[in-house]
């Protein structure tokens, strides 16, 4: 028996789910953007079987799945549909019978792994429905699904994976329906529309694309196309309305805009957040290139691979080659506009090829501009995920253009040669993206936090003998005058070194303060712009005693870009301060210990822990 479409899809899904799972096991909990904010709703539903109000958490709340503690008033996404959370709740219940408690968060993530399998199958079906061969369809699906940023998105709990899978299903069912507008296919398309209505706002342009294609095809190609529009609408309503209604009755909205406004308000005082950054119409400047170019660079690179908390990059060569491949794909697609044969009319070309081509290419500048305007009016967030709506459309673009090239060659009785050439090029593209995928995975697994606390790290710790390593001293140093002036001897001739406390606080921000059973977890950044000292440790002092210290060694490209200073790259810290007692009586003082052994005061961790974030 040969390889059928169904078997090919099962193979693609199994392979991709395995790759996603390996990625996921190498990423520690909350080592990806906003995972904890999605987990809060999951943890609350799991523990109380009820939806939280916008004022939750009203007190410290520890989740049973992740073990994380959310402080009073901590931000989470509310006022949005949450199908991905419902799915994660189901996989968590199933996974609780199979997985140890400390890895139960992987069971929640596994719903996104399943969505990844659905996504790659939908890409395959898109290419096959267009008329491509099984081999070319599989290569197109792999080339898109293995983009590092796409695999990363499916590896942790978030709503973007749901959005990508929904768009893939939407495009696939639309093509299937336009090919043969039966009632059954109208129902499938309606179900896909319903799923899309539960996605985030920046995925909704996909619905506009589908609506335009249906209306144009109905007007100029097939007047019977919308015969089953009632079936389509009923199916969409059955899927979408119940959850939209529940969310609206509970929170008074379905867009999540109020939560985003809270998020902006919470972070706009953080110097690294860049609140108020201007890109367009800045004074007498039409375009502020100094701000715009770094924004565009990070937006475009994070469309391909900027993982972690937007701070894990891969070699620049990958970005250059990926941009070249993208430009070549667009150019190749435009070249296929030429009529296949004399009998092909421009009306047919326009509706079947030029219209989707223009809309797909137009998505990129349109969404980029909208994202730029949003960044200027709130917080600069140059993130490629706002362009993710275009990812499944790249598969459609490849499928349409390769099919036209094969059809063009068939006119010349050389279609098999064209298919072989196209398959070779796609295989090379797939190989490049696979190498980039592995490089990005390796960068994630070896990132300091993941290297110590991910599932892979825990398994390695259990499998390998413990090897104690001495801590590094960093770049601590003293000049001769400091050594002489700051070294004192006690009455019993014991020397001690004085560390003076500066009156000037350092620049920085405490991004996260989380209470744990053994103390508090801190994450943030600290920077000293005097060109002489550099912060080496964050020191916690309680009751005149040092209770902990965190190494300042995390990469923070967001800070470096916001401050426009390359020296601010290695300014992050992330770790645990233990044995600090009851947070309700918190009197911890934080200092930055610099390379010259001077202490600089930092913002209060206690204030950060006790101030509500709404």
* Per-position b or e across 577-588, b if 16+ CB within 10 A of its CB: beebeebeebeb
Q: At residue 552, does pLDDT exceed 60?
A: yes
Q: Which residue spans within 543-602 are E strands per DSSP?
A: 545-551, 554-555, 570-578, 589-594, 599-601
Instruction: Judge whether residue 462 has pLDDT over 50.
Output: yes
Is a pLDDT exceeding 60 seen at residue 467? no
Secondary structure of residue 574 in the 3-state scheme:
strand
The closest alpha carbon to 111, from 78, 87, 132, 146, belongs to 87
Enumerate the domain spans of the chain: 8-452, 480-610
At residue 433 the predicted structure's pLDDT band, cuts being 50, 70 and 90, is: very high
pLDDT value for 550: 87
When mean pLDDT is compared across 176-190, 428-442, 486-500, the lowest value belongs to 486-500
Residue 257: is its pLDDT beyond 90? no
* Overall average pLDDT of the 238-262 stretch: 90
Could you tell me which residue, 277 or 64, shows the higher pLDDT?
Answer: 64
Would you say 353 and 397 are in contact if contact means Cβ atoms under 8 Å apart? no
Burial of 493 (0-12, 13-18, 19+ CB in 10 A): exposed
Average pLDDT over residues 331-348: 87
- Give pLDDT tens digits for 381-412: 777 788 999 999 999 999 999 999 988 877 66
Please give the C-alpha separations between residue 357 and each of 27, 87, 213, 423, 516, in angstroms, as whole numbers.
Answer: 37, 34, 11, 21, 52
Q: Long-range CB contacts (< 8 A, 24+ apart) of 120-125?
A: 120/12, 120/13, 120/16, 120/145, 121/9, 121/12, 121/13, 122/165, 122/168, 122/169, 122/171, 122/172, 122/392, 123/168, 123/392, 123/395, 124/5, 124/8, 124/9, 124/12, 125/9, 125/172, 125/176
Please say whether the beta carbons of 436 and 303 come within 8 A: no
H helix count then E strand count, the chain: 22, 14
Number of Cβ atoms within 10 Å of the Cβ of 538: 27
pLDDT above 60: residue 32 = yes
pTM of the entire predicted model? 0.81
- Looking at the predicted structure, is the pLDDT value of residue 3 above 60? yes
Q: Shortest CA distance to 79 belongs to which of 252, 196, 263, 203?
A: 252
Kindly report, residue by residue over 183-237, the tens digit of the pLDDT. 999 999 999 999 999 999 999 999 999 999 999 999 998 888 999 999 999 999 9
Q: What is the pLDDT of residue 285?
A: 81
Give, in degrees to the nearest 5, the angle at Cα 282 between 281 and 286.
Answer: 45
The closest of 89, 237, 112 to 162, measured between CA atoms, is 112
Q: Point out the least confidently predicted range of 80-84, 117-121, 568-572.
A: 568-572
- Name the residue among 194, 186, 188, 203 with its Cα closest to residue 240: 194
Tokens of 555: 């990469």
For the stretch 344-363, pLDDT in tens is 788 889 999 999 999 999 99
Query: Whole-angstrom Cα distance, residue 191 to residue 189?
Result: 5
Do residues 99 and 106 touch, judged by C-beta distance below 8 A?
A: yes
Residue 472: per-residue pLDDT: 42
Task: Count CA atoms within 13 Å of residue 393 on its CB side.
Answer: 22
**How far apart, in whole angstroms, are the C-alpha atoms of residue 124 and residue 399?**
9
Better-scored residue on pLDDT, 543 or 112: 112
Closest CA to 24 of 450, 447, 521, 556: 450
What's the confidence (pLDDT) of residue 612?
Answer: 44
Q: What is the pLDDT of residue 517?
A: 66
Residue 478's pLDDT is what? 58
- What is the mean predicted confidence (pLDDT) over 242-247? 97
Mean pLDDT of the chain: 86
Model confidence at 580, pLDDT cuts 50, 70, 90, reads: low
Average pLDDT over residues 267-290: 74
Nearest to 551 by CA among 449, 454, 457: 449
Of all residues in the chain, the percent with pLDDT exceeding 90 is: 50
**From CA 578, how far away is CA 518, in angstroms rounded?**
5
């Amino acid at each position: 028996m040969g390889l059928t479409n169904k078997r090919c899809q099962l193979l693609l899904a199994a392979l991709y789910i395995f790759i996603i799972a390996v990625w996921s096991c190498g990423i520690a909990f909350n080592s990806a953007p906003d995972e904890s904010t999605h987990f809060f709703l999951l943890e609350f539903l799991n523990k109380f079987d009820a939806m939280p109000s916008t004022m939750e958490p009203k007190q410290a709340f520890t989740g049973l799945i992740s073990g994380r503690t959310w402080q009073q008033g901590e931000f989470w996404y509310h006022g949005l549909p949450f199908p991905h959370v419902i799915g994660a709740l189901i996989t968590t219940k199933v996974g609780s019978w199979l997985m140890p408690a400390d890895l139960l968060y992987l069971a929640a993530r596994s719903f996104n792994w399943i969505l990844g399998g659905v996504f790659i199958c939908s890409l395959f079906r898109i290419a096959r429905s267009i008329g491509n061969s099984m081999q070319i369809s599989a290569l197109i699906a792999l080339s898109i699904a293995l983009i590092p940023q796409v695999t990363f998105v499916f590896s942790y709990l978030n709503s973007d994976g749901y959005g990508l899978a929904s768009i893939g299903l939407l495009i696939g069912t639309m093509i299937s329906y336009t090919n043969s507008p039966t009632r059954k296919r109208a129902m499938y398309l309606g179900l896909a529309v319903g799923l899309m209505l539960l996605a985030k706002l920046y995925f909704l342009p996909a619905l506009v694309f589908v609506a335009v294609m249906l209306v144009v095809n109905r007007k100029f190609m097939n007047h019977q196309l919308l015969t089953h529009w009632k079936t389509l609408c009923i199916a969409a309503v059955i899927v979408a309305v119940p959850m939209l209604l529940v969310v609206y009755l509970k929170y008074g909205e379905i867009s999540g805009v109020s939560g985003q406004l809270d998020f902006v308000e919470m972070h706009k005082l953080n110097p690294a957040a860049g609140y108020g950054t201007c890109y367009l119409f800045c004074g007498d400047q039409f375009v502020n290139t100094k701000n715009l170019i770094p924004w565009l660079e990070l937006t475009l690179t994070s469309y391909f691979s900027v993982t972690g908390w937007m701070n894990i990059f891969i070699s620049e060569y990958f970005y250059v080659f990926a941009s070249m491949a993208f430009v070549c794909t667009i150019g190749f697609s435009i070249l296929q506009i030429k009529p296949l044969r004399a009998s092909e009319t421009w009306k047919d070309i326009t509706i079947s090829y030029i219209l989707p081509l223009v809309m797909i290419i137009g998505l990129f500048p349109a969404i980029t501009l909208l994202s730029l305007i949003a960044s200027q009016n709130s917080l600069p967030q140059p993130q490629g995920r706002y362009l993710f709506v275009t990812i499944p459309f790249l598969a459609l673009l490849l499928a349409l253009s390769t099919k036209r090239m094969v059809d063009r060659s068939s006119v010349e009785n050389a279609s098999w040669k064209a298919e072989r050439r196209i398959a070779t090029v796609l295989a090379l593209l797939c190989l490049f993206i696979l190498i980039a995928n592995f490089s990005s995975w390796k960068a994630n697994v070896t990132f300091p936090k993941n290297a110590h606390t991910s599932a892979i790290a825990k398994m390695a710790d259990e499998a390998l003998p413990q090897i104690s390593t001495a801590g590094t001293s960093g770049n601590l140093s003293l000049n001769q005058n400091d050594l002489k002036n700051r070294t004192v001897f006690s009455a019993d001739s014991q020397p001690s070194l004085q560390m003076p406390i500066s009156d000037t606080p350092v620049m920085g921000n405490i991004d996260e303060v989380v209470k744990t059973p053994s103390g508090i977890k801190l994450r943030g950044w600290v920077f000293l712009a005097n060109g002489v000292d550099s912060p080496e440790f964050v020191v916690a002092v309680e009751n005149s005693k040092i209770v902990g210290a965190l190494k300042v060694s995390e990469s923070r490209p967001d800070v470096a870009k916001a401050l426009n200073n390359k020296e601010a790259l290695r300014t992050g810290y992330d770790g645990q301060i233990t044995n600090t007692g009851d947070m309700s009586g918190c009197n911890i003082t934080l200092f930055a210990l610099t390379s010259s052994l001077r202490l600089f005061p930092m913002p209060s961790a206690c204030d950060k822990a006790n101030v509500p974030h709404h």
